[in-house]
Chain A
């Protein structure tokens, strides 16, 4: 537990705080969006920032299980966003 370790941990906590603030900003844009694509874009951004928060939690607590959760979250977010974009464009899912 040297000095570099302490600097790394504090930088991780500061980065986690910044990412949570960015998530709240993206959530506000989903809530008060201009149009539907804007809200979908905010939802995609929220999903990506959740991924970043999970990777940061894995770095803080030194456990790999958060990265597995983020793998599933990335796959589900990708499929859901493609389906929602096609639904908005064509007004039908299939």
Chain B
């Protein structure tokens, strides 16, 4: 049983590191603020959550504290991404290859 938990922890650490690498490579390579926002969401939600899962399954952390931090990350990550994307649209940053803009009236109507 100990061996199975150790293997699960190793797999979670490897996959989480892979997600972090993919997120940062997307943050460098993608052409636009909005697509970069899409790429960096992977680091917050998948990378750190899988590392925390490894920390819960492998020894040091209990389930309670791990679940608190995992739920905090899963709530605050999309909220931060939404705030940054809304700010980028509000100050009118350019989009590359966008077909249409669904928020073209929303930025003028509310303050």
List residues of chain A with CB under 8 Å of any chain B CB. 4-5, 7-8, 11-12, 15, 18-19, 22, 25-26, 29, 35-38, 40-42, 44-45, 48-49, 51-52, 55-56, 58-59, 62-64, 67-68, 70-71, 74-75, 78, 81-82, 85-86, 88-90
Contacts and interface: CB of A to CB of B under 8 A. Distances in A.
B91 interface: yes
The 3 A-B residue pairs with the shortest CB-CB distance in the complex, in nearest-first order? A89-B87, A85-B83, A78-B76
Interface residues of B, number: 50
Contacts of B27: 26, 29, 41-42, 45
Nearest to B58: A59
A82 B80 contact: yes
A40 to B, nearest CB: 6
A91 B62 CA distance: 43
A19 B20 contact: yes
Nearest to B94: A35
Contact of A18 (B21, B68, B73, B91): B21
